Amino acid sequence: MRLTTAGSAALALTLAVMFVGGVGLQQSATAVEAAAAVDPRAIAERIAVLLQTEYMDAETGKAYAARLREQAAHGAYDGLVGAALAERLTLDLLAVKDDRHLRVRLGAPMMHRMSGPAPTGGPRQPPGDAAPPTIETAGWITPAIAFIRFNEFPRDPAGIEAVRAFLREHAAATTLIFDLRTNHGGGPDLLDALFPILFPKPMRLASAEARRGMESVALTGPNLRAVEGAPSNVKEYWVTPEAAGPLQRVKVLVLTSPATASAAEVFSAAMKWSGRGTLIGGQTAGANHFGTLEMLDGGLTLFLPVGRMFNPADGKDWEGVGIAPDIAVAPEQALTVALVRAGVPEAEAARLSNQYRPTLPMTRRAAPGTTGSASP
């Protein structure tokens, strides 16, 4: 049996400055003119105010703000515009504390493109400089094992429905393998769509807290429940199953790596903490905090972390440390191990693993201006 590619669309963001291009973001002439007209000290102060008043931990937010103000007073940002200014601001923030979502960028994070026509015989290879698809590969990897690889969780209704259709079409599977080894995150809506199909009974999956009320961020919805006796900024994330279906009891295996981040870590954590799935591969990226995208002058954006997800059993989250797999192996070997665990002979499992290797790296992306690993 061969795998096919499932389609999905990337979220369209409305930006103050528009960017286009294949790899990375390209600055338009209008953006260059806008960047040249801004005051970098004013931008630094704007970020300082946001961090001091909204960052999830008040003391760390004050420390971030103090660092930016000190650097601005010494002229560290004078003469910088665009990507150079974003990089310097980010490095100064990370020098205080490496929050793996906190970033200043030129423009907004680039989304993956929509998947193209469905090829057969192996994973899709993106043509030229095109960004890889949100859903890279999906289908039967053996007659009994369904497999899907996300480079990013789809955020749009069409992409989410494509995933639900994949699950409906593979309801006869005895094992589901979710390959998140190259998944840098995405929107939470897919999780709300997936969990009711996979869980056989209502269950608390995680807890969340924000510096202010949950209504101030995008983390809202019917699956978040208030906690009796807890502050209003703390809620629990529950799953409410759909009508009984075959996939609610199927074996679930989740492949992870140091590139597995953000919403992909929420999925991984829920599977591990609930016991519903088994994680195979490497420690995840450690990008826990959720937040909002703030538009700044000069075409810059700030991802502002305002809250965290955590394990209700012990109050711990995975920021900076990641989620440990249940079966720790080199990420490159994770699919082989998963297939063997699902009953495939080792030689055939190794062959399939090589045939369907990811097209993206399974390592955490470097922070701006560094050569080491950092957050997505």
Which pLDDT value is given to residue 211? 87
Q: DSSP per residue over 259-313, as a string?
A: T--THHHHHHHHHHHHTSEEEEES-------EEEEEE-GGGEEEEEEEEEEE-TT
Rounded to the nearest angstrom, the gap between the alpha carbon of residue 198 and the centroid of all alpha carbons in its chain is: 20
Question: Is the separation of the CB atoms in 50 and 294 below 8 Å?
Answer: yes
What span, in angstroms and rounded, lies between the C-alpha atoms of 136 and 126? 9
The answer to whether position 228 is within a domain reads: no
pLDDT tens for residues 276-287?
999 999 999 999
User: Same structural domain for residues 180 and 325?
Assistant: yes
The answer to whether position 57 is within a domain reads: yes
User: Same structural domain for residues 114 and 171?
Assistant: yes
The answer to whether position 349 is within a domain reads: yes
pLDDT at 128 over 50: no
What are the tokens at 114? Answer: 């929509």
Domain that includes residue 366, residue range: 1-17+107-121+154-200+249-286+321-376
Total number of residues shown for the chain: 376
The answer to whether position 225 is within a domain reads: no
The DSSP letter of residue 220 is -
Residue whose entry in the numeric block shows the structure tokens 């429905």:
161
User: Same structural domain for residues 160 and 276?
Assistant: yes
User: Same structural domain for residues 354 and 255?
Assistant: yes
pLDDT tens for residues 201-234?
999 999 999 887 555 554 556 778 887 777 778 8
- Return the CATH number at 9: 3.90.226
Which pLDDT value is given to residue 230? 74
The answer to whether position 219 is within a domain reads: no
User: Same structural domain for residues 66 and 117?
Assistant: no
User: Same structural domain for residues 177 and 254?
Assistant: yes
Sheet of 251-256, strand order: 3-4, 135-142, 145-150, 175-179, 251-256, 277-281, 327-328
> Cα separations (Å) of 61 from 67, 68, 316, 322?
10, 11, 20, 22
The DSSP letter of residue 11 is -
Could you tell me the pTM of the whole model? 0.83
User: Same structural domain for residues 359 and 273?
Assistant: yes
The answer to whether position 294 is within a domain reads: no
More confident residue, 366 or 311: 311
Report the domain count for the chain. 2
The answer to whether position 221 is within a domain reads: no
User: Same structural domain for residues 37 and 65?
Assistant: yes
pLDDT tens for residues 287-324?
999 988 999 999 999 999 999 999 999 999 999 999 99
What span, in angstroms and rounded, lies between the C-alpha atoms of 206 and 114? 30
The answer to whether position 315 is within a domain reads: no
User: Same structural domain for residues 78 and 185?
Assistant: no
301: CB partners within 8 A, 6+ apart:
15, 104, 105, 106, 107, 108, 293, 294, 295
User: Same structural domain for residues 94 and 164?
Assistant: no
pLDDT at 35 over 90: no
What span, in angstroms and rounded, lies between the C-alpha atoms of 171 and 247? 6
Which pLDDT value is given to residue 7? 30
User: Same structural domain for residues 87 and 186?
Assistant: no
User: Same structural domain for residues 195 and 329?
Assistant: yes
What's the rounded mean pLDDT across residues 265-275?
96
